[in-house]
Amino acid sequence: MWQESDSAVGDLLKSRVLGGFGRIEDPVRVSSWWADRGIRIEPAELNRDALFALAGQRQESADADWVSFLWHVLAWGVMGDYRNTPTIVASASGDEQRARLNDILRAAAEASFRGEIRSAYAAIRGKVPRLGPAFFSKFLYFTVDRESSGPRSVILDSRVSAAIFTLTGHDYSEERAATYERFCNEMHRWSQQFETPTDVIEFRMYQFGQLIDSCRWKWLHAEASLYREGRKQVGFDDIAERRAHLAGWK
């Protein structure tokens, strides 16, 4: 029987319903939006491993182009809604502006690599117009030290935030460095508890956020509909399957 708790994270990771929709290593095809504005993004398809490799190249260079790397992260992470992207790109429209943005990104990347989660968040938060946590936490995630055994930066967007709140009741929606650090520490704890990499947990939570359309009530509505039909015991995958049907996934 499903109930809101930390154990629900384990239910999510074991879900046969969510497991059938997408894989963490799946690539994203780069939109023509970038080429139309003269911004070169290569390769034409990006996945997480490709972005980690690009970040690694920059971490080995004293004069790394972190602005270009941010464009690659956005090309991977922006899912069809480009309303904020023109403003973000415009923040590097001139040489002086681009150098300023590069300095901001370098400071954030270096802090993230050192595992200084709160400092990394603070280094970039509010420094670039329209670049909010849903975007810049992706940048921080790809600049971590993957060999570190401690807590590290993890992607936190509205899908992931809604998933955690629905599953566990924990609220990480407040856009503060301390809240983000607490979220990353919690993800690290779950990673150890369920013996699963943090980014796999994040990916499954993102999928769950999609499933419920970032709305907790849609999950509860699916659960209630099963009980109204006379079910005595309702498990996680029972609700997930009903919600997938209601969302048109099946």
Q: For residue range 32-82, what is the model confidence (pLDDT) as tens digits? A: 999 999 999 999 999 999 999 999 999 999 899 999 999 999 999 987 778
Residue 249 has what pLDDT?
A: 87
| Residue pLDDT, tens place only, 180-227 | 999 999 999 999 999 999 999 999 999 999 999 999 999 999 999 999
Does 160 lie in the same domain as 141? Answer: no
Residue 210 has what pLDDT?
A: 96
Does 134 lie in the same domain as 179? Answer: no
| SS3 assignment, position 29 | strand
Does 146 lie in the same domain as 92? Answer: yes
- Give the pair of three-digit tokens for residue 71: 């464009």
Residue 24 has what pLDDT?
A: 94
Q: Of 150, 172, 197, which residue constitutes the final position of a domain?
A: 150
Does 173 lie in the same domain as 125? Answer: no
| Predicted confidence (pLDDT) at residue 135 exceeds the cutoff of 80 | yes
The DSSP result for 33-93, as a single string, is HHHHTT---SSSEE-HHHHHHHHHHHHT-TT--HHHHHHHHHHHH--S--SSHHHHHHTTS
Does 177 lie in the same domain as 76? Answer: no
| Predicted confidence (pLDDT) at residue 150 exceeds the cutoff of 80 | yes
Q: What is the mean pLDDT of residues 133-158?
A: 97
Q: What is the DSSP letter of 31?
A: P
Residue 104 has what pLDDT?
A: 98
Q: What is the mean pLDDT of residues 159-175?
A: 97
Residue 12 has what pLDDT?
A: 97
Question: Cβ distance 143 to 108 under 8 Å?
Answer: yes
Does 141 lie in the same domain as 167? Answer: no
Does 176 lie in the same domain as 92? Answer: no
Residue 235 has what pLDDT?
A: 96
By residue range, what is the domain housing residue 19? 1-23+154-250
Does 96 lie in the same domain as 65? Answer: yes
Does 158 lie in the same domain as 145? Answer: no
In whole numbers, what is the pLDDT of the chain averaged over residues?
95
The residues, any chain, with a CB within 8 Å of residue 66's CB and separated by 6 or more, are 58, 101, 102, 105, 106, 109
Does 233 lie in the same domain as 160? Answer: yes
Q: Of 150, 169, 197, which residue constitutes the final position of a domain?
A: 150
Does 133 lie in the same domain as 35? Answer: yes
Does 41 lie in the same domain as 141? Answer: yes
- Split into its structural domains, the chain has a count of 2
Q: Of 150, 170, 186, which residue constitutes the final position of a domain?
A: 150
Residue among 127, 186, 175 at smallest CA distance from 151: 186
